[in-house]
Amino acid sequence: MDKFIIDGGERLYGKLQAQSAKNTVLPLLAASVLTDEQVKIRGVPTICDVENMLRILTEVGCRIKRQKDCTVIDSSGAVSHEIPPRLTKELRSSVFMLGSVLTRFRRAKISYPGGCDIGLRPIDLHLSGLKRLGVEICEEGGYIECKADKLVGAEILLDFPSVGATENIILAAVKAEGITVVRNAAKEPEIVDLQNFLNAMGARVRGAGGGTVVIEGVKRLHGVDYTPIGDRIEAGTYLIAAASCGGEIEISGVPPENIAALLHKLRENGCKIHTKNDKIILRSDGKLKSVDLVETMPFPGFPTDLQAQYSALCCTCTGTTLVVENLFETRYKYAAELKRMGADVTVRGRTAVIRGVEKLHGARVTASDLRGGAALVVAALKAEGQSDIVDLSHIDRGYADFEYKLKKLGAKIRRVRI
């Protein structure tokens, strides 16, 4: 097990390029089994979630080649419709394999997916959407078995704009007979990127980002060489850290509109933000004022994946912030750890009341999930004294070279084995 040792109180200065978006790369890797031809994905980040997805692809028969600037997937030898349970337990996004494996083999078997313990995150919407396409589903003994003699286009209305369900339905419908219309679809930028990736392979998908996605089934897809969008959550994490600590940083590779909700809040906090094309420049004196309310919402609202990090920033703002988590019911596990550092946080159900304190102090804390772990890093960078952040396995699921990038900005952080 590794831990971070952070000596807080340093301002952050410098420039960073955002990594390719974790939440895009994972469904793109799943989509690679839709063709027998080679798929090249540029800039795939070296994070644990990606490594687990690549292991899943290898287990079903794909050949993977990691090159300096791209990852090559050759699925011509894919033979298995079963997703290994030992890997699905580690990776929530393994569920994306359902739609693509069904399209490839007309059968799929998967155990219930794992990932961070931040709430129930049921996959009912995934399964009901697949049923509309003609899939027979049997749930038994912790496994989901799907089969379909043929996939047929359908009208699908999602009860909630789920990102995962939207992507899974697209992957299952892309070679189905006829036209599929998904209404109340998720609007996240990662959905648009999946559409662009599939269309570059010869698919006919339109409407992504607008709430209604139309998929016209095609007979075959071909190989592609593709560069995913930048990771708006990674970029947002560094912006929040710099806003909290003070300093000036420039993040490139993420269009400002992809994290507009965060930028709006940071401006309200007192940060100076300038944007141009895919560059975001933030200046902060580290003395921030609270905003009254932050509510997580589906895109374009405030992202749930930045709620924890932003809450860490709120801990040293002047005033009180009410944070409402509308998407995941147990996403406040990090709050108890922030209290160890002197934060004044009161959690009731899906709501947290954060009263700003003059300063945080270093402490030994434990990361219990990906974004909560990142929040503890943000808090430790601001705190006086030394902090130890234990169990980096969660953080490593989503941030490539986290400590090296923070060091580049001037943070005093190191990783040690314990």
Per DSSP, the residues of 158-184 read: -SS--HHHHHHHHHHHTTSBSEEEEES
pLDDT at 7 over 80: yes
Question: What pLDDT, on the 0 to 100 scale, is given for residue 93?
Answer: 60
Q: For residue 275, give Cα distances in angstroms to 167, 241, 260.
A: 30, 18, 11
- Give dist(CA 43, CA 234) in Å, integer: 14
pLDDT at 119 over 70: no
Of 80-94, 169-183, 292-306, the poorest mean pLDDT is in 80-94
Choose the final residue of a domain: 172, 191, 226: 226
| Whether 347 contacts 372, CB under 8 Å | no
Q: Are residues 205 and 108 in the same domain?
A: yes
Q: Are residues 137 and 115 in the same domain?
A: yes
Q: Are residues 285 and 177 in the same domain?
A: no
pLDDT at 235 over 60: yes
pLDDT at 92 over 80: no
Q: Is 116 a catalytic residue?
A: yes
- Following DSSP, what letter does each residue of 321-349 receive, concatenated? EEEE--S-TTTTTHHHHHHHTT-EEEEET
Question: What pLDDT, on the 0 to 100 scale, is given for residue 26?
Answer: 93
Over residues 239-262, mean pLDDT: 98
Read off the pLDDT band of 117 (50, 70, 90).
Answer: very low
Question: What pLDDT, on the 0 to 100 scale, is given for residue 113?
Answer: 60
Over residues 111-116, mean pLDDT: 57
- Give dist(CA 351, CA 329) in Å, integer: 10
- Give dist(CA 111, CA 139) in Å, integer: 9
Question: What pLDDT, on the 0 to 100 scale, is given for residue 69?
Answer: 86
Q: Are residues 267 and 176 in the same domain?
A: no
Over residues 339-347, mean pLDDT: 97
Q: Are residues 220 and 322 in the same domain?
A: no
Choose the final residue of a domain: 226, 244, 271: 226
At residue 261's C-alpha, the angle toward residues 239 and 6, to 5°, is: 25
pLDDT at 311 over 90: yes
- Please tell me the total count of domains within the chain: 2
Strands 364-366 and 386-390: parallel
pLDDT at 116 over 80: no
Read off the pLDDT band of 240 (50, 70, 90).
Answer: very high
- Give dist(CA 29, CA 57) in Å, integer: 8
Question: What pLDDT, on the 0 to 100 scale, is given for residue 121?
Answer: 47
Choice between 28 and 83, residue whose per-residue pLDDT is larger? 28
Give the largest CA-CA distance in the chain: 64
User: Among 63, 40, 31, 39, which residue's Cα sits nearest to residue 175?
Assistant: 31
Contacting residues for 86 by C-beta, under 8 A, at least 6 apart: none
How many CA atoms, within 13 angstroms, populate the side-chain half-sphere of residue 230?
A: 20
Question: What pLDDT, on the 0 to 100 scale, is given for residue 266?
Answer: 98
Q: Are residues 305 and 380 in the same domain?
A: yes
Choose the final residue of a domain: 165, 191, 226: 226
Q: Are residues 212 and 284 in the same domain?
A: no
Q: Are residues 290 and 157 in the same domain?
A: no
Amino acid at 145: E
Over residues 307-311, mean pLDDT: 98
Strands 247-252 and 12-17: parallel
Q: Are residues 375 and 364 in the same domain?
A: yes
pLDDT at 211 over 90: yes
CB atoms under 10 Å from CB of 196, counted, come to 17
Q: Are residues 71 and 133 in the same domain?
A: yes
With a pLDDT cut of 70, the percent of the chain lying above it is 95
Domain coverage including residue 39? 22-226
pTM for this one?
0.94
Question: What pLDDT, on the 0 to 100 scale, is given for residue 67?
Answer: 87
- Give dist(CA 167, CA 221) in Å, integer: 17
Q: For residue 385, give Cα distances in angstroms to 6, 7, 237, 282, 364.
A: 8, 6, 21, 25, 11
Q: Are residues 93 and 161 in the same domain?
A: yes
Question: What pLDDT, on the 0 to 100 scale, is given for residue 115?
Answer: 41
With a pLDDT cut of 90, the percent of the chain lying above it is 81
Total H helices, total E strands in the chain: 13, 23
Over residues 323-331, mean pLDDT: 86
Q: Are residues 151 and 72 in the same domain?
A: yes
Q: Which CATH number fits the domain that encloses residue 389?
A: 3.65.10.10
User: What mean pLDDT value characterizes the chain?
Assistant: 93
Which of 48, 116, 146, 271 is labelled catalytic? 116
The model's pLDDT over 9-68, given as tens digits with 9 standing for 90+, comes to 999 999 999 999 999 999 999 999 999 999 999 999 999 889 988 998 998 899 999 988
pLDDT at 90 over 90: no
